[in-house]
Structure 1
Amino acid sequence: MRNNVARKVARQIEPEAAYQEVGRVVRAAGGAFVVASGAAELEARRAVSCMVEPETDDVVLVAVLPARGAYILAVLERQGRDVSVVLEGDLHVKLPSGRFVVGAAEGVTFASGKEVGVVAGELKVNARLGSVFVESLSYLGTAVQAEIERAKVKAAAFDASVERVVQRVKRAYRFVEEIEQLRAERVDYVAKKNMSLRGENTLVTAEELVKLDGAQIHLG
């Protein structure tokens, strides 16, 4: 039975003769490459397994299949230039176990013309300095906990709609250059010691009752 299966596979997949050459890329354009090997020039394509995009003057390893053509298998040498990994279609990197680490001494940049998505059970970002520019930001979450030594926000407009706000601060300073308005059903201010209201003109208006209660009341 096994011999019959082997004979069927042998008839379906016939071995192809191939040989390898080492040459130098003399022309590269549009995914087509011309490789000089000795006195001959080969027109070659980049093999799928060769992720590094060949460039002119690269020393490459070429596999020649008479029935299919020539394929660049690997870039062997390049003199003092950047290396680009170029692939067609989607790229999936899968690790059944272990961690995936990207390290660079000078920097790491992710660029996309459309969307960049991050999905994780836990996200951590550690940096000495940070800068974020977002034209439009939408955040939806259950809870936010932040411990900030100093925060500075400069905005042209800020709108917030919340159900409840609780703040506990040691000192609070508020500077309004033009006008400040408060609209509320009830307003309650309590000071343990002194409360001071000062202004060039101070107006207190009530539709029904104005009450002043104190051990001493000084007017004028």
Structure 2
Amino acid sequence: MPEHVFGKGEAASKPDTWVDKSPSAPARSRSTRAPRTTSSTRRTPTTGSRAKPYIQKVEYPAYLDNGPCQPRPRQRQGPVGEPVHPRHQAVLPRDKSPDNHTWSPPVLNVGIYPNLDPSHKNTSNLKVRQAISYAIDREKVSQIGVGGQEPAANQSGIVTPTFDKYYDKAAVEKAGYDKPDPARAKKLLAGLGYTPDKPLELSIITITGYTDWDASLKVIKQNLKAVGIDLSPSRTSPSRP
């Protein structure tokens, strides 16, 4: 914390509750929707960098879904972008330019989060969650959803290969979660009275326009249907920047 702010007065006596009504920052951001959604970052005159050249403002389009964003790097309408495309080499073919590169840093897991509240008697049931896990072909989800750019998640929730030293692969393999096991999933669901002909109906909340999630969910839906779960996506609008 800056000493010139918290080294005296009320800020020093109550640093946990004191509110800075004029916080200092090198830049401040805002978003607008006229005529399209954009985000801009402006240099704060009093605290901005004194280094040259001065950059007073950076403005860039902030897309709410992958669709309109995907073709723009190929169209040379931006030097850097964050589109998710399963055919990334087709979007940024290296034969067009040796400077075209993609980087998908493994820093988090995208997964299914079941509702464990007892009022949701199905997803709060351990056997149902086990059946879902055994049914999903994670490697195929990775290949179809993001073109294999990000490795499949694992049951431990540890992001690999970034945190491999914390990942107990042997424990995951012992539990049988290292590869899909549809037969085991069917057996668990049959014990609860569900079959592919008489499926368990579940819904899943996803975000409209996230094309990688849409593609992944298609694989997951097929996997679950084969063992006796009918999964229906319920879509919500993306958050605005």
The structure whose residues are more often helix, as a share, is 2
- Which one has more relative contact order, counting CA pairs under 8 Å at least 6 apart? 2
Interval containing the TM-score (normalised by the shorter chain): under 0.3
Q: Compare CA radii of gyration and give the structure with the larger one.
A: 1
The structure whose residues are more often strand, as a share, is 1
